[in-house]
Amino acid sequence: MANDRLRGKPDVVLTPEVLSARLDRAAANTDLDIREGRFQRWLALIAGLSSALSGIEVAYEHYKGSYSRRVMYTPVILSGALVAGGMSGFFSRRAARTILPAVSVLTLGDCAVGFYFHVRGIHRKPGGWRLPIVNMVMGPPVFAPLLFGVSAYLGLLASFLRRGEAAGSGILPLPAHPDHWARIVTGEHEPISWAQDVREGRFQKQMAIATAVSAFFSGFEAWYSHYKNNFRYKAQWTPVIIAPMLMAAGIAAVKSPRIARTWLPAISAVAIVDGAVGFGYHARGVLRRPGGLKKPFYNVIYGPPLFAPLLFAACGFLGVLASLLRREKRR
Amino acid sequence: MNSQTERVDTRPVNTRTGKPIGPISQPGYYPGFSTLAQQKFWDAKTREVVLDRVINVPEIRFFSQQEARLLEAICDRILPQDDRDESHKIPIVPQIDRRLYENSHDGYRYEDMPPDREAFQLGLRAVEEIAQHEYRLGFLEIGPREQEEILHSLHHGKPSAGHEIWKQLPIHRFWMLLVSDCADAYYSHPWAWDEIGFGGPAYPRAYMRLERGEAEPWESEEKRYQWKAPDSSVSGVFEPVAGQAEHLGSPGQGGAH
Amino acid sequence: MLGSIQRIESPMRRFSEGEEVDYVIVGVGAGGGVLLQRLARAGFRVIGFDAGPFWDTERDWVSDEKGAHNLYWNDMRITAGEHPLAFGANNSGKGVGGGTVHWASFTPRLHPSDFSIHSTDGVGVDWPIPYSDLKPYYELMELELPVSGPSYYPWGDPHGYPYGPHPMGGVGDALIRGCTNLGIGVSAGGPVAILSGSRANRPHCIYRGFCIQGCKVGAKASTLITHVPDAIENGAEIRPNCMVSRIHVGATRRVTGVSYFDSDGRACFQKAKAVIVAGYSIETPRLLLNSACPGFENGLANSSDCVGRYLMAQAGNVVLGRFEELVRMYKAPPAHALTEEFYETDAKRGFARGFAIQTVGPLPMSFAKQMMVAKGAWGWGLRSVMMDYNHWAAFGFLGEILPNADNRVQLAEEKDRLGIPIAKITFNLYDNDKKLIEFGKNKTMEVMWAAGAQEVVQEARYAHLVGAARMGDNPETSVVDQFGRTHDIANLFLCDGSIMPTQGSANPGLTIMALAARAADYLIREGAAVFKSEERNTQKPPIRRDLSPPDTWGHGMPRI
């Protein structure tokens, strides 16, 4: 892409001034392409990975629901497709522009359908919405389809990013030098174009919102699952407490670049740690079930959900990612 | 109640404090737990049936006054409620009376048993005969300890009198019938559910904490205390029912499980 | 209304008085319900009689142990013998849906070995059909109910279930703990005919534990909600509260119809081209014996003197264990985990055949009576052990008792309110049965100890009935052939648990339904020949998967 622009149109006379201006612009574009490209790659990969987690969870959650409707297979199939889409988006620019958005949009649609069926499922349980708590706890998890939707949304977001094929775009969009971390925290900008500032800023906002939304869904699920379990362990309160904080930070980060650089990454990091610890506890919970490893399959599906804490950690990861993006200057 | 019964404390004893328990409104390890308080979460039909059981205690229609009083004294020992206050005693005899009046039964009768109505009338007569034989007093006139001794002899299948009657009425079957009927009346009552921590009716709202005996948000945690039967009692220990071993098909198997 | 959201919309067909129908089915339970639905779907004119009511589950049933009393067959029966059986709540239902209304709904299949125990173990009798004949019908029924359970079930003929397993309650956890600690395989969360995911107009289980008191939710399968609605939709009539008292035989030694008492106690007659009796192990022989008439002095279809004989009940000892921690066994369905590790004959044990260990979940009234028997509890002892109700868990042992000609159903002198002689049942245990019970009881107690119980007691009792009008190829030693057709009368059929020659250690419900579906395929293939001909076609019928109720397909998982 950048090379095409460099060549220019043949009927324009290339004076040194024109050339110089073009080179400046091209350099800026290349830089933008590279940054966004890296970012796109990694966002695609994250969409794929989180969808893999969601996919495994939905596969066995729907198994617990006996795949009693054929439509219950769709999120399992689509999560596979989204994993494939994310992976191919990581490796191929073309895939990132074609397959990834297609699969993402399809998945978003499916999530809406799923949300409808889950709401309806609770409605159709004895007592319906008149017994909201019991039926939400024991019925289909009402926000699970929407949480899955966040992965799809990330996939869609990734496909809108620009991407060059220049070398280096496969590197994680993290500042390489320790100094850069300081710059991010202090808000000092690298010398890049304002256009990139604006684009990244928008994406940062989007990411911050995505963080807040998925923290809400994930936190809500943690709340009622742990409530179902009577909060037997104090640690079960942590995701319930961290989730609203992460939500607040995510929402505040939309307005305040300062919060986006400070509170958001801090709370996100806490969420990641909490998710990792939760994963450990859930794994231990599975092992401690009657029969333990002698009934591995049953205990994984009916024990504490192994991947739910990882999905919570994924919210934190989104938050960190959002905070790493740069932000346009206020005009 | 005569002077003899007044002297004996028939209340169970808290073994930690050494004090008698009750009379209180709700014995058991789940203080404050009330299944009836959850009735708005039950379906209409169940609510109707359970409330009817609590509110409308049936009149005595099958037994004579005398039989009813005798049976009441027996039931007071088979399912003693001395720890419950007067307004929270669970009516047992009226339930048995209704069952017999309506001639309702579990759908079978042992070949060697007379029909339930007859069995009860015969059994009551035999109990009275034993009391007369042992103490030269009516069952109603003897103290709780003595009453329990008589019932204990039925439990062991070795009553000291009424042998003519026991020829028509196998003792262990009658004993099982009697205890089953008392248990049915007592443990079908919501106050008994509160006492033992049973959740009661569960539709449309059911349970979400299925494992590890965890309480639902509306259930109570167990608060155990150590207690023992009153000193006047012989029913606090567990001894096998006589005659049961050789009869695999004992009356206890009637319930659904 | 059936269940919380299921409704029967179509008005029921009414055949006019005096109108001859194709089939009369006596008893709409596990067998009768499936058969009625199949025959109606195939276009036959069919009436199902049931002695009990047509339940409106929302209005008639209660979430209460005592209030469920009217679900059971409570008409008086006399029980005799050295080891007499209990009836009523224990094993028979009254009302449309029959026993499936109050079964705990464990639905394991019989093992292939069950069909030939005489050949292999030298006990009991062989079935006239092998397992492979019944297997496709097992598979079909597991879809129609449907059955929830593990994706791989290792015992007998290994198979998987179309619906996923259920979560555990405290009792299931205890069984799993006990079994795994002893290195015994255990199946968690099924096989039970309870929905683990919703299906069409039936919501999934809410784990309230009142399965045996009738599932108001509509999650537990009963023919009342799985097959009867489709039967009505397809033009079957059901006459509830109608007690059939007699089957009539015409001049050509063929049955012509049935006498019955309608809901007002009025004596009526229904003409039919063929009659199918599906009244279960006590009422079926009672009706056949009571229908004795010139030419059939010993009762209908009784030239072999086998009607009423070879009655079986599974040994069903309940083993109760007290745990330090709370269990609250009233939560979750009573049926949710089992092991069939001891199902097959093991020569080392010194007896033939075996047993299963299953979860049970007695509610307070039943538990009180179990404590009375198991511990001799009464008085303050009863009060105190009942206060510990939430600390106890209960397992049911389910052992195979072998058929014996002297375990039988007869008519007593005594008559019921309609003037029909009541049934008298004589039951004894024999050597193999006693050894099996002793071993199985001890093994079940061992599992309870291994689960961590501090105290373990047990109550002897029986579970399901089968037999008393067994099937076989030889008309001299059996009542019906492999399709349920009586050897003596070409248009009289039996279709319920009474035709099972042996019982295995599996709960009989699914097998009864599978046999009914097979009998239906036979009757449908034979068509009008059943009504006219004395010819007996013994060819296996083709399986009719197109006759399943509409919600059978498109739900659940592919079978492994």
Q: List, in sequence order, the alpha helices (H) in chain B.
A: 3-7, 44-55, 65-78, 93-101, 116-135, 144-155, 163-168, 171-187, 190-196
Q: Which fold has domain C21-552?
A: FAD/NAD(P)-binding domain (3.50.50)
Cβ atoms within 10 A of the Cβ of B44, count?
Answer: 10
Interface test with C, best of B39, B248, B250 (most C CBs within 10 A): B248
Cβ-contact C216, A127 below 8 angstroms: no
| Shortest CA distance from B108: residue in chain C | C77
d(CA C102, nearest CA chain A) in Å: 20
Contact residues for B95 (Cβ-Cβ < 8 A; gap 6+) = B58, B181, B184, B185, B188
- Does the pLDDT at position A197 exceed 90? no
Task: Give the per-residue pLDDT at A93.
Answer: 81
Instruction: Supply A208's token pair.
Output: 């911050």
d(CA C524, nearest CA chain B) in Å: 36
How far, in Å, CA of C138 to CA of A317, rounded?
50
Q: Does B158 reach chain C within 8 Å, measured CB to CB?
A: no
Instruction: Supply C506's token pair.
Output: 């599996």
Q: Does B29 reach chain A within 8 Å, measured CB to CB?
A: no
Handedness of CA B67, B72, B73, B78 (dihedral sign): positive
Selecting from A66, A126, A292 the residue whose C-beta is nearest the C-beta of C206 gives A126
How far, in Å, CA of C399 to CA of C394, rounded?
16
- Does the pLDDT at position A88 exceed 70? yes
How far, in Å, CA of B209 to CA of A138, rounded?
10
Closest by CA position to B71, among listed B196, B189, B185: B185
**pLDDT below 70 — which residues of chain C?**
560
Task: Give the per-residue pLDDT at C11.
Answer: 86
Cβ-contact C389, C307 below 8 angstroms: no
Interface test with B, best of A64, A135, A223, A230 (most B CBs within 10 A): A230
Q: Which residues pair with C274 in a beta bridge?
A: C23
Per residue in A5-56, pLDDT tens?
Answer: 444 444 556 666 766 666 566 555 656 666 677 777 888 888 888 899 889 9
Test C186 with A121 for CB contact under 8 angstroms.
no
**Which of A91-105, B122-136, C74-88, C180-194 shows the lowest per-residue confidence on average (mean pLDDT)?**
A91-105
Greater pLDDT, C89 or B67: B67
ipTM of the complex: 0.94
Selecting from A64, A66, A291 the residue whose C-beta is nearest the C-beta of C176 gives A291
How far, in Å, CA of A136 to CA of C492, rounded?
52
**Mean pLDDT over residues A187-205, rounded?**
61
Selecting from C216, C367, C429 the residue whose C-beta is nearest the C-beta of B203 gives C216
- Does the pLDDT at position B254 exceed 80? no
Residues on A contacting B at a C-beta cutoff of 8 Å: 125-127, 130-131, 133-134, 137-138, 228-230, 232
Closest by CA position to C369, among listed C83, C72, C65, C155: C65
What single-letter amino acid sits at B183?
A
Cβ-contact A51, A86 below 8 angstroms: yes
d(CA A236, nearest CA chain B) in Å: 16
Average pLDDT over chain A reads 80
- Cα angle, residue C178 at apex, residues C173 and C179 outer, rounded to 5°: 100
DSSP code for B11: S
Measured between beta carbons, the chain B residues lying within 8 angstroms of C332 are 207, 210
Q: Does C79 reach chain B within 8 Å, measured CB to CB?
A: yes
Query: What does pTM read for this prediction?
Result: 0.90
Count H helices and E strands in chain A, helices first.
Answer: 14, 0
The string of DSSP codes covering A29-91 is: HHHHHHHHHHHHHHHHHHHHHHHHHHHHHHHHHHHHTTT-SGGGGHHHHHHHHHHHHHHHHHH
Cβ-contact A201, A236 below 8 angstroms: no
How far, in Å, CA of B134 to CA of A87, rounded?
92
Distance of CA A134 to the CA centre of its chain: 30
Interface test with C, best of A68, A230, A300 (most C CBs within 10 A): A68
Measured between beta carbons, the chain C residues lying within 8 angstroms of B196 are 364, 386-387, 389-390
**Residue ranges per domain, chain A?**
1-166, 182-331
- Does the pLDDT at position A124 exceed 60? yes
Cβ-contact A192, A32 below 8 angstroms: yes
C-alpha distances out from residue C516 to C308, C341, C489, C497, C509, Å = 20, 28, 19, 10, 11
Selecting from A127, A137, A232 the residue whose C-beta is nearest the C-beta of B208 gives A137
Exposure string of C237-253, with b = 16+ CB inside 10 Å and e = fewer, is: bbbbbbbbbbbbbeeee
C-alpha distances out from residue C400 to C113, C121, C460, Å = 13, 13, 14
C-alpha distances out from residue C403 to C85, C357, C400, Å = 15, 21, 9
Q: Domain residues for B15?
A: 3-252
Test B206 with A230 for CB contact under 8 angstroms.
no
Contact residues for A188 (Cβ-Cβ < 8 A; gap 6+) = A182
Does residue B91 have a cis peptide bond before it, meaning omega lies within 30 degrees of 0? no
C-alpha distances out from residue A287 to A53, A105, A300, C123, Å = 20, 38, 9, 44
Cβ-contact C279, C423 below 8 angstroms: no
How far, in Å, CA of C137 to CA of C482, rounded?
14
Q: Which residues pair with C246 in a beta bridge?
A: C259
Q: Does C197 reach chain A within 8 Å, measured CB to CB?
A: yes
d(CA C28, nearest CA chain A) in Å: 27
d(CA B204, nearest CA chain A) in Å: 5
How far, in Å, CA of C232 to CA of C239, rounded?
11
Closest by CA position to C242, among listed C101, C420, C374, C84: C420
Task: Give the per-residue pLDDT at B76.
Answer: 95
How far, in Å, CA of A216 to CA of A239, rounded?
10
Q: Which residues pair with C271 in a beta bridge?
A: C257
d(CA C448, nearest CA chain A) in Å: 13
- Does the pLDDT at position A102 exceed 60? yes
Phi-psi region of C364 (alpha: psi -120 to 50; beta: other; left: phi over 0): alpha
Task: Give the per-residue pLDDT at A12.
Answer: 56
Cβ-contact B144, B7 below 8 angstroms: no
How far, in Å, CA of C207 to CA of A302, rounded?
14
A295: number of CA atoms within 13 Å, CB side?
33
d(CA C234, nearest CA chain A) in Å: 25
Test B208 with A230 for CB contact under 8 angstroms.
no
What single-letter amino acid sits at C292?
A
How far, in Å, CA of C212 to CA of C99, rounded?
10
- Cα angle, residue C84 at apex, residues C81 and C89 outer, rounded to 5°: 150
What single-letter amino acid sits at C78?
I
Task: Give the per-residue pLDDT at A3.
Answer: 46
- Does the pLDDT at position A232 exceed 90? no
How far, in Å, CA of C329 to CA of C338, rounded?
16
How far, in Å, CA of A79 to CA of A52, rounded?
6
Phi-psi region of C88 (alpha: psi -120 to 50; beta: other; left: phi over 0): left
Q: List, in sequence order, the alpha helices (H) in C314-430.
A: 364-375, 379-387
Distance of CA A233 to the CA centre of its chain: 28
Residue B18 burial (10 A CB sphere; 0-12, 13-18, 19+): exposed
A261 φ, ψ to 5°?
A: -95, -20
Give residue for tokens 């209960």: C394
> Using a CB cutoff of 8 Å and minimum separation of 24, what contacts does A191-194 make?
A192/A28, A192/A31, A192/A32, A192/A35, A192/A326, A193/A28, A193/A31, A193/A32, A194/A328, A194/A329
Cβ-contact B238, C377 below 8 angstroms: yes
Test A292 with C203 for CB contact under 8 angstroms.
no
C319: helix, strand or coil: strand
Test C170 with B233 for CB contact under 8 angstroms.
no
Selecting from A127, A130, A228 the residue whose C-beta is nearest the C-beta of B208 gives A228
Task: Give the per-residue pLDDT at A246.
Answer: 93
Residue B257 lies in a domain: no
Test B209 with A230 for CB contact under 8 angstroms.
yes
Test C188 with A298 for CB contact under 8 angstroms.
yes
C138 φ, ψ to 5°?
A: -60, -45
- Does the pLDDT at position A168 exceed 50? no
User: For a pLDDT cut of 70, what percent of chain B falls above it?
Assistant: 91
C-alpha distances out from residue B151 to B71, B74, B102, B146, C258, Å = 12, 8, 27, 9, 51
d(CA C199, nearest CA chain A) in Å: 6
Selecting from C79, C325, C375 the residue whose C-beta is nearest the C-beta of B111 gives C79
Helix axes B65-78, B116-135, angle to 10 degrees: 80
What single-letter amino acid sits at C401?
I
Test B43 with C92 for CB contact under 8 angstroms.
no
- Does the pLDDT at position B154 exceed 60? yes
Selecting from A67, A138, A301 the residue whose C-beta is nearest the C-beta of C557 gives A67
Most trustworthy range by pLDDT among A46-55, A308-317, B52-61 = B52-61
Count the domains in chain B.
1
